[in-house]
Structure 1
Amino acid sequence: MLAITHCAIALSGTSLILGTANPLPLGLAILGSQLPDLDTTTSTIGKICFPVSSWIEDRFPHRSITHSLLATVGIAAVSLTVNYFLHGSIKTALALPLGHLLSCFSDTFTKQGVQLFYPEPVWAVSVSNPRRRLKTGGAGELWVLGIAIAMFCFGIYLANGGGITQKLSQSLGLKDGIVELYNKNASSHNVYAEIKGVWATDRTSADGKYLILGTEGSEFIVSDSKGVYKTGEQIITSKVSTEIGEASKTEVRSINFNDEEAITKLTQLRTAYPGADIYLSGELAIDFPEDVKISIEPNQMVTATVVGNSLKLNYCGLDRAIALLKEQFAVGTVEVKIWRS
């Protein structure tokens, strides 16, 4: 096979099998796909590494030791060892031997085949009919090249969407996979939920796009311009898919109150993060709980409740928290989640 065909097969296989679009593993897969042809000085890599290829060519037949599973195992051992000391990712470590393996396997479809099980002198050929085997540079190989490029593009598409598992989860609305996608991207991007469902109160349509604020088990806490909701409670969902939105920075911090006026620190927080979406969760002991008037909003999650002498907050918007804690002295700690685009 031509070097470019080996590259395309290695790229498509690596992107699909490892679920990656990272240039480093893909580059290593390309390198791995060329290593089998180190046994001849006429190949591209053989010319580049002439001393090595010349030494191998003088001692081993073409398509023998370098096209074998033994060579793949050796490359994998070296790659995994180097990766261990460099503390790299497992996908990066596997890309080099995977590219080599795919290249060796693809050569079993050629007329000569390869000694895949070297040192056993057995030629591995995938197609029994010699006329159906691929000829280097022939029309059949060009078809293989085109299909490999198409599969590589598809692999990149899947990898950028989180891989095959995530794409299936999105298509089928499987919450566990969607939660995993949210957890993977929430620190660097706004993640939106495309929800198809109804309001629990009156069963009218709740279809729409909501910003995901957090998760509770396999359910989402979501928000739009009107309020905060929880799937499975306020919104009964029939299908949920996620969309990675604009880049943002999510910050989580704590604010402690030591018998001090609550809105002072909350107002400072609003000044420090202009334009950010800020939500508070936690429990504060307050002086005058009877003065806290909490209105019940239809279809919305309860984000603030008074229990005894305490005000409990759960994804309560900053402006609402300031209104509720006006002229209150508070003791306690709240967790603050801040979204900045």
Structure 2
Amino acid sequence: MMTPTHIAFSVALTSITLGTANPEILGVAALASLCPDIDTSKSLIGRLFFPISRWLESHTIHRGITHSFFASGVVILVSYPLALNGYSHIWQGLILGYFFGWFGDVFTKSGVQAFYPSRGRMIIPRNPRLRLGTRSNAEWFLLMVLVAIATLSININSNGGIIRGFNQAIGLPSGAIFTTQEDASRYLLIAQIKGRNALTELPVDESYEVVEPLTANDLLVKNKQGIVYRVGSSQECQIIATQIRIERLSPITVEVKDLILEEDDLYSFLTQLPQERTYLSGTLTVHDAEDLMLPSHIDRFDTITLQPGELAYARLVAASPSSAIATLGDYSVSGNLIVRTVYVQQKT
């Protein structure tokens, strides 16, 4: 089998196996795929490491010990310190690249000594006429197919993988929510939503920024004016979705703080926070809140709800600092508050 075929075979199958388009992993797999052929000085790796290949030539046969499960086991054990030291992705690329590098030769006319030290050879298929000959027309055709498969797999994985691609294609709300759960901590997401307004029954076909997954069936999204809606299939939703497609807009970093407040002035604290894409969640006890009343909306998601009383209890779910200031800014509060701030990375 030719060097380009070994590389294409290993890159394609490593990308599919790991569901990755990581160039570091695939590059290691490509290099590792050449290593089994160190048992012959005619190969590229054999010429680069001629003393080793020459010694192996004189003591073993081509496609023998280096093309076996035994050799793969040795590679796994010897390279395992890479995984222990935080380079598990490199380790995975190495062991898969090596394995696919020799396993591809199973389809050649002479096969490989896969079960070394047994001298028997693994050859697929059994019909000799269907086996690959080096530099034959069949191998050139296989190379083109493998390059196409590798390109397709890398393209799919670079866009989130097969599941994400399938979800995008059909736009199922459940699939979009699954995608959001996977991507919400890494990307600023835009949801293209088709459905109906639960209150007015009017059709909805608009884009919204995803705030966060709320449940297994629902999302929180906001429009350009910052109004938050619950979208999905549950009865509590303001928008009943029939189709949701998720678009990755920009990479993000997320900062999360867990704060404990003890009769603190909420206004002075909230004004110090970034106002854009900062979300507050938690339960607060509001002191001296006999006069505190919060309106309830049926056309949008209430990010702040209140259980009134002399000691009122406010529940915040993805509330913005501005809305918290407007409703609770004049009161002292106690309780736990999770502050999640999303920073959009600038494209270079």
Measured against the shorter chain, the TM-score band is 0.7 to 0.9
Matches within 5 A, 1:125-136: 125-136=123-134
Q: 2:255 aligns with which of 251, 257, 261?
A: 251
Q: Does 1:321 align with 2:324?
A: yes
Q: Does 1:340 align with 2:340?
A: no
CA contact (8 A) 2:65 2:116 kept: yes
Structure 1 residues 284 and 121, CA gap change in structure 2 (3 angstroms): closer
CA contact (8 A) 2:173 2:243 kept: no
Q: 1:191 aligns with which of 180, 186, 189?
A: 189
| Secondary structure, aligned partner of 1:248 | strand
CA contact (8 A) 2:238 2:298 kept: no
1:262 aligned residue: 266
CA drift of 1:151 comes to 1.0
CA drift of 1:56 comes to 0.8
CA drift of 1:198 comes to 1.8
Matches within 5 A, 1:305-316: 305-309=305-309, 310=312, 311-316=314-319
2:137 aligned residue: 139
For structure 1, list consecutive stretches of 5 or more residues without a partner in the other structure.
Answer: none
Q: Does 1:280 align with 2:280?
A: yes
Please give the root-mean-square deviation of Cα atoms over the aligned residues, in Å: 2.6
Partners of 2:302 and 2:188 in 1: CA distance: 23
CA contact (8 A) 2:172 2:242 kept: no
Code of the residue aligned with 1:247 in structure 2: it is: P
| Secondary structure, aligned partner of 1:237 | strand
CA drift of 1:298 comes to 4.7
Q: Does 1:4 align with 2:15?
A: no
**Which stretch has the larger CA shift, 256-265 or 35-44?**
256-265
CA contact (8 A) 1:195 1:237 kept: yes
Render the CA deviation track for 1:51-100: whole Å, top value 9, x for unaligned. Answer: 21111100112122222222222222323x223432332x4323223223
For structure 2, list consecutive stretches of 5 or more residues without a partner in the other structure.
Answer: none
Matches within 5 A, 1:166-205: 166-173=164-171, 178-179=176-177, 181-205=179-203
Structure 1 residues 67 and 262, CA gap change in structure 2 (3 angstroms): closer
Code of the residue aligned with 2:204 in structure 1: it is: A
Partners of 1:284 and 1:118 in 2: CA distance: 68
1:303 aligned residue: 303
CA drift of 1:6 comes to 0.5
Code of the residue aligned with 1:63 in structure 2: it is: R
Code of the residue aligned with 2:191 in structure 1: it is: A
2:81 aligned residue: 82
Code of the residue aligned with 1:249 in structure 2: it is: T
Partners of 2:85 and 2:263 in 1: CA distance: 51
Identity in percent: 32
Structure 1 residues 285 and 107, CA gap change in structure 2 (3 angstroms): closer
| Secondary structure, aligned partner of 1:201 | coil
Render the CA deviation track for 1:231-276: whole Å, top value 9, x for unaligned. Answer: 232222223332222123322224554435432222232xxx25x2
CA contact (8 A) 1:289 1:306 kept: no
CA contact (8 A) 1:36 1:67 kept: yes
Partners of 1:106 and 1:257 in 2: CA distance: 62
Partners of 2:315 and 2:54 in 1: CA distance: 76
